[in-house]
Amino acid sequence: MYVLEPMTQDDVEEVSQVERLCFTNPWPISAYRRELKNPEQNFYLVLRDDPAASYDEPEESDISNGEFGSIGPRPVSRRTRRFTLWPIGRRHASATPPPIIGFAGMWNLYDEAHITTIGVIPELRGRGLGEVLFIALVDEAIRRRVNWVTLEVRVSNVEAQALYAKYGFNVQGRRTRYYSDNNEDAFIMWSQSLKDAEYLRHIEDRRRRLAHRMSFDQTPSSR
């Protein structure tokens, strides 16, 4: 079972190790430590693989406060405005936390959210985990009442571009030689307005599809 949690200073060393498996130009550890000191403008989370985790029924206040827990599909409450893929739920306490298998983060700049990083260890890619991290960031952007979400993506990373396009992101520009490891260009992609009701319904539909997929991926026979 997979569990989403806010990234803490205690996670930074392990996140840095995971990032080196994911990218050729990882951030320095000091960058994460600095980002985590300003939670009003920055938001970072980790994804853990925890077979012992269990679901807890979410309360309305849990969802509105943007807290995280075990990942699993839940029916939307009549009191809540939107479906949640990760209701509040706690991993089982242990001396050693379950391993981090993914991470993600974004900046909150005025009326927009800028996704800075999403990474999943190579051996677990293709299971929808990157999408789980991505939609968690989009949900947090909605919770923070920003208008748009933006990000950069390598021009060669067509798989990531397809994921973002699935959620209504469009290419709006290009940054030349943006990536320092190989001087590759980056596409600048933007979401549609997070204040648009039809677009929010589209995001909800994609979230439900992902929840359905993850419910099958996390059955005992598939783990």
Phi, psi of 123 (to 5 degrees): -70, -10
Backbone region of residue 77 per phi and psi (left: phi > 0; alpha: psi in -120 to 50; beta: other values): beta
How much is the CA Rg of the chain, to the nearest whole Å? 17
Residue spans of the domains in the chain: they are: 2-222
Phi, psi of 72 (to 5 degrees): -175, 150
Q: Which CATH architecture has domain 2-222?
A: 3-Layer(aba) Sandwich (3.40)
Active site residue 35: no
Q: Model confidence over 68-111: pLDDT tens digits?
A: 454 443 433 333 333 344 433 456 666 688 899 999 999 998 89
Is the pTM here over 0.85, yes or no? no
Written as one letter, the residue type at 90 is R
Active site residue 164: yes
Which residue in the list 5, 19, 131, 152 is annotated as catalytic?
A: 152
Q: Model confidence over 138-184: pLDDT tens digits?
A: 999 999 999 999 999 999 999 999 999 999 999 999 999 999 999 99
Which residue in the list 164, 178, 184, 204 is annotated as catalytic?
A: 164
Q: Which whole-number Å values give the CA distances from 16 to 28, 32, 49, 80, 102, in the listed order?
A: 8, 9, 17, 36, 11
